[in-house]
Amino acid sequence: MIYLASPYSHPDPAVRDQRYLAACRAAVDLLRTGVTVFSPVVQGHALSRFGLPTDWGFWRRHDCEHLRRCDEVVVVTIDGWRESVGVSAEIQLAREFGKPVRYLTAGAERTAP
């Protein structure tokens, strides 16, 4: 299973919506290759519409469980990924759990150095 890490939190709801759509596109692209994908942004965005928080502090424990169970982490390198507290934490946790980390850009993918 691939854990799809991508930035989400932002004070502007329009930016959150754009990031959600980018995560959806990346998840669909990966699903079309036949792999299993879990995207916390895709799940969390839908649930946040019912009043759940959108920050890493709230989602950390939940996402950590998915990270433990995944085979690898793929980071979607859209605007904000380097500054994202959640993405940085997900990369760190992946390394702690011994999971490979790859980076996905528009139409390209590379393995972490």
Q: At residue 113, does pLDDT exceed 50?
A: no
Angle of helix 40-48 versus helix 13-31 axis, rounded to 10: 140
Q: Per residue in 86-109, pLDDT tens? A: 999 999 999 999 999 999 986 555
Out of 1.10.1760.20, 3.40.50.170, 3.40.50.10400, 3.40.50.410, select the CATH number for domain 2-111. Answer: 3.40.50.10400
Residue 111: the pLDDT is 47
Q: Per residue in 21-45, pLDDT tens? A: 999 999 999 999 999 999 999 998 8
